Structure 1
Amino acid sequence: MTTTTTSFGAANTAVLKEPKIQIRSFDGLRSSNSSLALTRNVNLFSVSSSRPSLIRAVSTPVKPETETKRSKVEIIKEQSNYIRYPLNEELLTDAPNINESATQLIKFHGSYQQYNRDERGAKSYSFMLRTKNPCGKVPNKLYLTMDDLADQFGIGTLRLTTRQTFQLHGVLKKNLKTVMSSIIHSMGTTLGACGDLNRNVLAPAAPFARKDYQFAQKTAENIAALLTPQSGFYYDMWVDGEKILTAEPPEVVEARNDNSHGTNFPDSPEPIYGTQFLPRKFKIAVTVPTDNSVDILTNDIGVVVVTDTNGEPQGFNIYVGGGMGRTHRLETTFPRLAEPLGYVPKEDILYAVKAIVVTQRENGRRDDRKYSRMKYLISSWGIEKFRSVVEQYYGKKFEPFRELPEWEFKSYLGWHEQGNSGLFCGLHIDNGRIGGKMKKTLREVIEKYNLDVQLTPNQNIILCGIRKAWKRPITATLAQAGLLQPKYVDPLNLTAMACPAMPLCPLAITEAERGIPDILKRVRAVFEKVGLTYNESVVIRITGCPNGCSRPYMAELGFVGDGPNSYQIWLGGTPSQTALARSFMNKVKIQELEKVLEPLFYYWKRKRQSKESFGDFTIRMGFEKLQEWVDKWEGVVSTPPKYNLRLFSDKDTYDKIDELAKLQNKTAHQLAMEIIRNYATAQQNGKGE
């Protein structure tokens, strides 16, 4: 892989003992048209009262004045008048689709053009809209609006994403403006949900009243505001330039406008992004120690709240360089875990994040989009060089990374105390797809009790602010639609994820969302065949292509689309999402999965150490041994279930259980056994009600 290197001016660092002003200038990103080149003025001041500091850098990285090759998308962005042209013209035509340039630009507005790949003949175009919900927060009014829009203009379903947002599929071009304006006027937005800029900022979705959780969510919201585009293109397009006033905290405005270290384009409508925005998408997550509900190490920037012994937030640890996307059989592309960058005091987090973003903006590759994510810049430079450049934009040295406890995956499913006398209820949604009776019932509950919701990074939903008196009726209503408490859901389903893939995603090679229900059933059958118990599980994630939207490279068992009806199999992630999986086999046909899974699970059952997870087991045994077991496997004798549910229930009861089971993609026998098993366990443990 070739890389673009950057030279810098002489490193000249000093302690500023009294207020001084130094002015430097250097060329910003240069285009083929030199008249569009921007110049930034660097004004270095002594420390302001809001940002106490000891050391400030007095030199700023200088870009070389040589022309570099740029991808087609970079030229489209440059010529777009800040993401307007030609999208504004294409939306006015009678055609059901938009042209190539507009297709690239509409991503910045939060939409992708798609067509139904199941249909033959003329392409049936539609648009997917993705909302932007920092921390996954969705006000009551916005949820009800999204629910309505799905029925009126979409395909009748809502989808929860792995980045705490909604996706609305099937919107026709002629209805785009109506849908967009409805979202905007209902306290929502799709701005920046896609495109070459900062995407939705993750944070734990649990609405705890605890200081650390509240501080993490507030920080995520501030980072999202800081990195939101400022040039107005979104509102020009969808609400005719109407000013949607959003009160921003003064610290966000101050950090955005600060140009003490050459981070901004002066007098530009996009002070941070400029005309070119970022080289590629950019992902940020904020969390608290131990809580890895956000897959913290998969983000370009991971921010972790650090508190004192009294639980008061003091600052943040920062990770950098995570990312999932790759290209099949191109070893220079790879998934990567984020690594520690350093620690900053809490008042500096916006400046530190901005410095990291600008370092990527100035140095990330713009010639080949396969290598444009920040993980490749850090892999090329090394963390020490990357840190030194970020520090020049930040104006300080990073403090040493603070020690953290071990990470744990937290789903927040079931009922929990919020800490302010209210309750919240986390609901498992298979693959994040809300439709049919489930969709109708969720709306009924959310509307009747006037509930706000939060979306989780595992495609689930949390109902917030529930009074204790409402718990029983809400539980009963939800259960009638198959929205059961987690103890009644197959453990394999609880941690599984899949991307939408076919039929609408243009990048999908094979099935993911439509295929995972059957795959999970087959894995459960293999568990039973080799003697694994019902309450044992592995983290399974499936994606229809190598881009990794469902983060399969962090799974204990990852399936990555590798051709029609075939997958790469990845092994070795951990239940806590702290280790990368590795590619084990290529092009395994869907009908042959059992030939691979049976020996792996059989030997895990018999050779594992105490409490050893499947992912840890595969790494300890080594892939050579695993492959030997697969190659020599002759199978085990299957033992059919001893009992048949039909023998123990009347027809009416059986039919009701069968109907409920179908809502969860299970057989009546499976669901009945789960209910009986969980009830018996609860009675044995003295927890029966």
Structure 2
Amino acid sequence: MTTSFGAASAGTIAKDPKLQVARSFNGLRSVSNSLLLSRRSTVFRSSSSSSSAASVIKAVSTPVKPEIAPEQKRSKVEIFKEHSNFIRYPLNEEILTDAPNINEAATQLIKFHGSYQQYNRDERGTKSYSFMLRTKNPCGKVSNKLYLVMDDLADQFGIGTLRLTTRQTFQLHGVLKKDLKTVMSAIIKSMGSTLGACGDLNRNVLAPAAPFKRKDYLFAQETAENIAALLTPQSGFYYDMWVDGEKVMSAEPPEVVKARNDNSHCTNFPDSPEPIYGTQFLPRKFKIAVTVAKDNSVDLFTNDIGVVVVSDADGEPQGFNIYVGGGMGRTHRLESTFPLLAEPLGYVPKEDILYAVKAIVVTQRENGRRDDRKYSRMKYLISSWGIEKFRSVVEQYYGKKFEPCHELPEWNFESYLGWHQQGDGRLFCGLHVDSGRVKGVMKKILREIIEKYHLNVRITPNQNIILCDIRQAWKRPITTALAQGGLLQPRLIDPLNVTAMACPALPLCPLAITEAERGIPDILKRIRAIFERVGLRYKESVVIRITGCPNGCARPYMAELGLVGDGPNSYQIWLGGTPNQTVLAKLFKDKVKIQDLEKVLEPLFYHWKRQRLPKESFGEFTNRLGNEKLLELVDKWEGVLPGRTTYNLRLFSDKETFQAMDVLARTQGKNAHQLAIEVIRNYVASQQNGKME
């Protein structure tokens, strides 16, 4: 008897619980092995004469029986995947039960569908389970219709807020299990998707969010969308689960279909519903970003694959530089885990990019570790092999040699905040959103603008949002409405806030050790107060990123100042990233309590102010001095700024006024200078708002 795992057989299995149990515990392993044996068994060698290139490469989709080859140790998640009928079972049963939660296997599988099970960690007693849904929006593109649907869903089924993520997607928190299918189907039928937003497969593909009509930007965004389509699961499990098998999706470009089906270099599983992923998918999550030269708004080097458009002198795209092996996640006090920057792999002509990306993904699929998930990201494979061996293996699946990477100009971070010309006569407007959390009056005003002017939007990798395709005549009324919603022009936003990021952390993330999103507003205010005390100007800034655990979702290891939760109200401090996100930060200090931040940061900022070289950023300064010297500066700091009095004569004309302000400030946990500055800023803001009204 031949068993098929296509959409038709999946429907039969779903209707018969007995078949599900039998398949789960007895049938699937033999079927998996049949698929393995039916796919190519060809052993091939590189045409290169080097010994590393001549190593044997053999694709294996699932572990084989002992009589065929010794079975390797696998993590529990690998076994869940093998027994799942391509990410269906037991999730298809668990979502139908009356319980508010799902079991362990289903909890792992629902990630592939774009969801995480969570509970409110602020509450004690019985756990209040809910689900976070994450969309998949290549390039951060969100249609007008999808934005309005997500806005409605947040109010009807979530916690009333939308969150913009560092991978250009939405997160919708607080969805109950009984509402999952309603919410998922609403997203799908609005031409949205959550498929692959989480799980062991390719995640959302980043690209610059700016809707410029330049050839290189358009080509980068088109390439990102094609890569996302190439690596989208094909077995239908997502649509079977949430819209009863109805596939609601647009037609794919023929070049994507051709690249996916191509098996000339033994990359695919023949006759499998998942030609690229097989039954086991990838060892761990996989991240890709595409950009153009100079524009590092995507944090290119933090991705498993970074792709850069290379254009000729006339601005015509010719090909791509490819970088591999980036990743942020690590485990505290386990030195064998580490953040890593992507390194150059090579250059390919533009028509080859899908084949090159596929070859890299297959190399990780076949060789990434599946026994210990701490070491399953591609960066550990490259770290173990070295880039030369990795390149040699990828070239076998690609079928060609990579050319050397082309030289590129220096990178810049681009925020795209404020008003810009698109290049087609229309405007776009980039809006800063603190920690990406769209809520309250801001959410209401944004919806009104997007709905009234029928605007499409884009989400940036820095948790901000861009309103696109705005007519010149709409600029003034939109600017006025945005101000009413607290969405200010860039010049009115504290420069520290512009580049700051934080992950959601507590109360819903099960991995969080301490606060991030809820704690960053106060931390930024305290750092601004330090700036004022040490004499740094208001327009000066540093890149600050905060995470509640070491997994690095807000990319703290690329920050000039990264705070990484390592205990209750405690952080590691990382220093040394650069404003253009091209240098990896280094661990500076462990276990710094939140109340002690000033003791560490004040001397660092004080000496940066006085010892920096011309135009030297904070990250460059800390790298130049090194940890040993910086620790010495912190240890010797006595908490009193040399040569400064206890009150600021530029703000206080007399000591009595200062002392009265100081007494009032202490009741609020501040000093007199902080409170005075706050009062002045609030007064100025109120006057400005009054004039606008």
TM-score tier (shorter):
0.7 to 0.9
8 Å CA contact retained: 1:44, 1:58: no
Is the partner of 2:574 in helix, strand or coil? strand
2:668 equivalent to 1:669: no
Is the partner of 2:344 in helix, strand or coil? strand
Code of the residue aligned with 2:239 in structure 1: it is Y
CA distance in 2 between partners of 1:672 and 1:211 (Å): 46
User: Which residue is 1:606 aligned to?
Assistant: 610
Is the partner of 2:451 in helix, strand or coil? helix
CA distance in 1 between partners of 2:450 and 2:622 (Å): 43
CA distance in 2 between partners of 1:34 and 1:358 (Å): 19
Instruction: Sort the Cα spacing of 1:245 and 1:552 in 2 relative to 1 into closer, same or farther, 3 A.
Output: closer
Higher normalized helix content (fraction of residues): 2
Decide which of 292, 317, 324 is 2:321's aligned counterpart: 317
What does residue range 43-442 of structure 1 map to in structure 2 within 5 Å? 61-62=57-58, 65-442=69-446
Code of the residue aligned with 2:626 in structure 1: it is G
8 Å CA contact retained: 1:43, 1:260: no
Instruction: Sort the Cα spacing of 1:333 and 1:43 in 2 relative to 1 into closer, same or farther, 3 A.
Output: closer
Is the partner of 2:260 in helix, strand or coil? helix
Deviates more, 1:366-375 or 1:241-250: 241-250
User: Which residue is 2:476 aligned to?
Assistant: 472
8 Å CA contact retained: 2:41, 2:58: no
User: Which residue is 1:685 aligned to?
Assistant: none
Code of the residue aligned with 1:303 in structure 2: it is V
1:544-582 deviations in Å (ceiling 9; x for gaps) = 000000000000000000000000000000000000000
Code of the residue aligned with 1:203 in structure 2: it is A
8 Å CA contact retained: 1:198, 1:227: yes
Instruction: Sort the Cα spacing of 1:39 and 1:331 in 2 relative to 1 into closer, same or farther, 3 A.
Output: farther
8 Å CA contact retained: 2:43, 2:56: no
User: Which residue is 1:499 aligned to?
Assistant: 503
8 Å CA contact retained: 2:43, 2:58: no
8 Å CA contact retained: 1:60, 1:393: no
1:39 positional shift: 3.9
CA distance in 1 between partners of 2:462 and 2:194 (Å): 20
8 Å CA contact retained: 1:204, 1:217: yes
1:60 positional shift: 7.2
Instruction: Sort the Cα spacing of 1:668 and 1:97 in 2 relative to 1 into closer, same or farther, 3 A.
Output: farther
1:246 positional shift: 1.6
1:249-288 deviations in Å (ceiling 9; x for gaps) = 0000000000001100000000000000000000000000
CA distance in 2 between partners of 1:248 and 1:44 (Å): 32
2:550 equivalent to 1:539: no
Code of the residue aligned with 1:413 in structure 2: it is L
1:643 positional shift: 4.9
8 Å CA contact retained: 1:42, 1:262: no
Deviates more, 1:245-254 or 1:64-73: 64-73
Instruction: Sort the Cα spacing of 1:627 and 1:70 in 2 relative to 1 into closer, same or farther, 3 A.
Output: same
Instruction: Sort the Cα spacing of 1:552 and 1:59 in 2 relative to 1 into closer, same or farther, 3 A.
Output: closer
CA distance in 1 between partners of 2:278 and 2:628 (Å): 50
1:474-496 deviations in Å (ceiling 9; x for gaps) = 00100011100101000000000
User: Which residue is 2:40 aligned to?
Assistant: 41
1:676 positional shift: 9.3
CA RMSD of aligned residues (A): 2.2
1:670 positional shift: 3.0
1:59 positional shift: 9.8
8 Å CA contact retained: 1:304, 1:316: yes
1:667 positional shift: 4.2
8 Å CA contact retained: 2:576, 2:585: yes
8 Å CA contact retained: 2:574, 2:585: yes
User: Which residue is 1:651 aligned to?
Assistant: none
Code of the residue aligned with 1:87 in structure 2: it is L
CA distance in 2 between partners of 1:104 and 1:262 (Å): 29
Deviates more, 1:352-361 or 1:634-643: 634-643
1:669 positional shift: 2.9
1:400-429 deviations in Å (ceiling 9; x for gaps) = 110011110000000000000000000000
Identity of aligned residues (%): 80
2:465 equivalent to 1:449: no
Code of the residue aligned with 1:536 in structure 2: it is E
Number of corresponding residues:
619
Code of the residue aligned with 1:307 in structure 2: it is S
User: Which residue is 2:492 aligned to?
Assistant: 488
Instruction: Sort the Cα spacing of 1:488 and 1:538 in 2 relative to 1 into closer, same or farther, 3 A.
Output: same
8 Å CA contact retained: 1:60, 1:392: no
Code of the residue aligned with 1:281 in structure 2: it is K
1:514-549 deviations in Å (ceiling 9; x for gaps) = 000000000000000011010000000000000000
Code of the residue aligned with 2:211 in structure 1: it is P
CA distance in 1 between partners of 2:415 and 2:174 (Å): 30
The unaligned stretches of length 5 or more in structure 1 are 1-28, 46-56, 648-665, 679-689
TM normalised by structure 1 equals 0.87
8 Å CA contact retained: 2:209, 2:459: yes
1:67 positional shift: 2.2
8 Å CA contact retained: 2:191, 2:249: no
8 Å CA contact retained: 1:140, 1:447: yes
